[in-house]
Amino acid sequence: MTAPIDVPTLEPGLTLLRSPGPRSTAIHRVALATLAESSGVAYWVDARNVASTYTLYDLVDSPRRLRRLRVARAFTAYQHHALGRRVVQRVDGRTDLLVAPNVASLYRDDDVPRYQRERMLDSTVRTFAALAEAREIPTLLSVPADRDPGPAEEHADRVLQCERTEMGYRFEGPGVETTVYWDDGYWQTTIPYWVDLLGVASESSGLGFAPNGPGSTDPVEQATLAAAAGGPGVPGGAD
């Protein structure tokens, strides 16, 4: 298992993750973090072989949790569309999570006629959106940030942006902002983390703090615990 990082969990509804790339492990991290907060079953409709067994076991904190994950793999748009419809028959009161990485990818392949692509993709996304709403199930779709999200963005209740930084993945969206990065033996904080914790410096005295003030959103502007405390680094609780 790798060291933990600051990862958001999902609320009921349809969430679109704009990932750094089609093979990014950002979707694995969000899905597993959400699964850890539930006791039900998760269905994963895979595309482009994202659901790597090695990756899932490497990231999950307890291998037993993966027993509640059901993975179905699609290699064509037609298979993906059919699996989306089949999930409707499988979902029940025990279902706590739906995941569909690279949801638009297979529909852009050359074997799909142009007149069918958007219609099939829209139908699939609508199916996931309807399940998310009717069953109040956290549902996670992903499309790489440099690709056209198509109807996935139109039907999403919220969009999470994710980018890869030198310290790890940075997530940003409604009510979500990565402000802490974990590594082996220590943790790295950011300017927004300390703004949330202490507020911004008072302009009148230059010494006090004004709570709830605006903070920097630049991910490059980072401050370690050592810099904030004026002393040596403080080890965190990373595994």
Superfamily of domain 13-175: P-loop containing nucleotide triphosphate hydrolases (3.40.50.300)
Angle at 14 between CA 5 and CA 219, to 5 degrees: 35
Pick the more confident residue, 192 or 177: 177
Consecutive H or E run containing 130: helix 114-135
- Look at residue 82 and tell me whether its pLDDT is greater than 90: yes
Q: What's residue 182's pLDDT?
A: 56
Q: Which positions ≥6 away from 117 have C-beta within 8 Å?
A: 77, 107, 108
**Which 8-state DSSP code applies to residue 2?**
P
pLDDT band at 183 (very low <50, low <70, confident <90, very high): low
Reported pTM: 0.75
Pick the more confident residue, 226 or 182: 182
Average pLDDT over residues 168-192: 66
Q: What's residue 102's pLDDT?
A: 98
197-233 pLDDT, tens digit per residue, is 445 455 554 544 444 444 444 443 333 333 444 444 4
Domain boundaries, the chain: 13-175, 180-229
Average pLDDT over residues 43-66: 95
* Alpha carbon distance 170, 181 (integer Å): 9
Give me the chain's average pLDDT, please: 81
100-152 pLDDT, tens digit per residue, is 999 999 999 999 999 999 999 999 999 999 999 999 999 999 999 999 999 99
Give me Rg for the CA atoms of the chain.
20
Q: What's residue 6's pLDDT?
A: 72
CB-based contact 102:44 (threshold 8 Å): no
Q: How far is CA 139 from CA 14, 25, 84, 101, 156, in A?
A: 5, 17, 12, 11, 10
- The total of other beta-carbon atoms located within 10 Å of residue 103's CB is 26
